[in-house]
Amino acid sequence: MLDEGGGFTGPLDIAVDNGVVTQVGRDLRSDAQSYDFRGLWVMPGMVDCHLHAIATSLDTMEMLRTPLSERVLDAAGILRRSLEAGVTFARDAGGIDAGVRNAVQRGHVPGPGLQVAVGALSQTGGHFDGFLAGPAVPLTTGYQVPDYPGRPPLVVDGPDEVRHAVRLLLRAGADWIKLCTTGGIMSGTGAAPQFGRDEIMTAVSEARRRGKPAMVHCFGGEGLRHSLEAGVRSIDHGLLLTEEDARLMAAGGCWLVPTLTILGDIQRWASAGKLSAAAAARVRELEPRFGQAVKIAQAAGVKIALGTDFISREQHGTNLREIASVADAGLSTEAALLAATRNGAELLGIGDRYGRVAQGYVFDAIVLDDDPADLAFARDGRVGGVFKAGRAVVEHPRLAARPAA
């Protein structure tokens, strides 16, 4: 079983009652139904801190032609695939609304437990502003987040508009406030800072007044430093992180969610000619920095949690690749496994109930057939079983066997 150091201790017995771990120890005795999992490895389910369940295609026209109801149902399918892949809790960083979160919570839709940002706030001409110049139609970038009744406007300027937008997002049920404080690769807005210091401070302080944390899409530089000054809880991506930035993050207790796997996927798309010439050029320009943020953050003592940021249908359900990606970037196997589980739960403020297999914790877990030391299970998605709140959502063959005496 995954222990507090990121290694595996055992053999151990795990007693679960009503979805919660009641005991962990050797040779536990109980009259409860029991199953023999000797020779298997058990770890907490992955906590994906940067999911986009509604993002399924880079083809803007496809997105524009798809009815909203179809996109929501598609997102529900992606949530199920993510759960079956071993993601038992997730923070959706923009796209699905509070209704989808609630549907999962009530059992109407299978999926990981969810916190939602609803949408990402952007300045005019910023990372999330996908304005169509021809018909002069406002649009989110790539129409990744569709218009739907009750979705607040996401492109705002000035402290007053930002404050109003935050209030609308919170009224819509957002658990997190997300801002884009630099540009990005796919939007074509580059790494330049976005939103002024006063706008960022306003957004974060308004969220804090309502007891909600803030996260930022950010590569680095001025956008990162203003975000840290405002008190955001996580920097997502951090592609251009510097040693000084990392020192400030560590001092302020700010987390890094590096989202590395998608960078490798984007590289492959660029090489295969699937991106525009401009986007491919940006990939080539930034490629030398891919993965460096993890080493810099680790050296400075910045806490790291994992997120995928997947934006195409075929990526979803391969979330565990991110564990291998951060290990390839410099984290030890132990640190990578803890970043995927315990750390993610702590970032999301649920570390007292999730992210560990321990007494009093919800039994969200992955069962592995092979020694996970080489992380092959993460690279290949080889998960033997998945539990959510004590219920098998992917049944390991041992569960079909006769219960142990």
Written as tens digits, the pLDDT of the chain (405 aa) is 999 999 999 999 999 999 999 999 998 988 888 999 999 999 999 999 999 999 999 999 999 999 999 999 999 999 999 999 999 999 999 999 999 999 999 999 999 999 999 999 999 999 999 999 999 999 999 999 999 988 999 999 999 999 999 999 999 999 999 999 999 887 777 788 999 999 999 999 999 999 999 999 999 999 999 999 999 999 999 999 999 999 999 999 999 999 999 999 999 999 999 888 888 888 888 888 899 999 999 999 999 999 999 999 999 999 999 999 999 999 999 999 999 999 999 999 999 999 999 999 999 999 999 999 999 999 999 999 999 999 999 999 999 876 665
Tens digit of each residue's pLDDT (9 = 90 or more) over 1-42 = 999 999 999 999 999 999 999 999 998 988 888 999 999 999
Tens digit of each residue's pLDDT (9 = 90 or more) over 350-365 = 999 999 999 999 999 9
CB atoms within 10 A of CB 60: 16
- Among 117, 133, 113, 116, smallest CA distance to 125 is for 133
Q: What pLDDT is stored for residue 191 in this prediction?
A: 80
Q: What pLDDT is stored for residue 32 in this prediction?
A: 86
What is the identity of the amino acid at 261? T
Q: Is the dihedral of CA 144, 149, 151, 157 positive or negative?
A: positive
312 contacts 58 by C-beta, under 8 angstroms? yes
Indicate the helix (H) or strand (E) that contains 277.
helix 277-286
Residue 203 carries which DSSP code? H
165 contacts 126 by C-beta, under 8 angstroms? no
Give the CA radius of gyration of the chain: 21
List of residues 6+ apart from 53 with CB closer than 8 A: 75, 78, 79, 82, 90, 92, 95, 96, 100, 111, 316
Distance CA 246, CA 225 (A): 10
In the chain, where the domains are located? 45-354
Q: What pLDDT is stored for residue 288 in this prediction?
A: 87
Please give the distance of CA 375 from its chain centroid, rounded to a whole number: 19
Pairing of strands 41-44, 365-368: antiparallel
Please give the distance of CA 135 from its chain centroid, rounded to a whole number: 34
91 contacts 117 by C-beta, under 8 angstroms? yes
Q: What pLDDT is stored for residue 405 in this prediction?
A: 54
Distance CA 48, CA 19 (A): 21
- Give the chain's largest Cα–Cα span: 71
CB atoms within 10 A of CB 388: 23
Which residue has tokens 């302080």? 205
List of residues 6+ apart from 196 with CB closer than 8 A: 226
Distance CA 71, CA 79 (A): 12
Task: Please give the class, per CATH, of domain 45-354.
Answer: alpha beta
Distance CA 53, CA 368 (A): 25
In total, the chain counts a number of residues equal to 405
